[in-house]
Amino acid sequence: MQGLHLTADLHGCRCAPVWLLDAAALGQACVAAVHAAGLQPVGQLFHQFPASQHGPGGVTATVLLAESHLCVHTWPERAAVTLDVYVCNFGADHSDKARGLMDALLALFQPAAVHRNALMRGNAEAGS
């Protein structure tokens, strides 16, 4: 179960509005980024939230990976996004691929400010 879990909170995203508002477009971009990073998508779910009194509805894009998952949540009324990339390193170390995927998504959203976290999960020794 050892792996790398990356998260990022993006603020002041200067990307094209489509990436914050359109579930299908964001989903396609996520799957393309997963492939480009060398990871294997095995499932996906993209959901468009309805507009509310606070503004247009955001999007959640989830890509299930053979290595674990990618999840993106957008808040267009705040020009904000949260990113979550987790890769299990069972059988091979996918950490560099996870970092590449995160970097590609940061480039897509063009945030003015980013708060990033990296957590090494699990223990390499069995039974720990």
Which residues are annotated as catalytic? 68, 73, 88
Sorted by sequence, the CB contacts under 8 Å of residue 118 that are 6+ apart come out as 4, 5, 6
Alpha helices by DSSP H, listed for 38-116, are 95-109
Sign of CA dihedral 16, 17, 19, 20: positive
- Pairing state of beta strands 59-65 and 80-88? unpaired
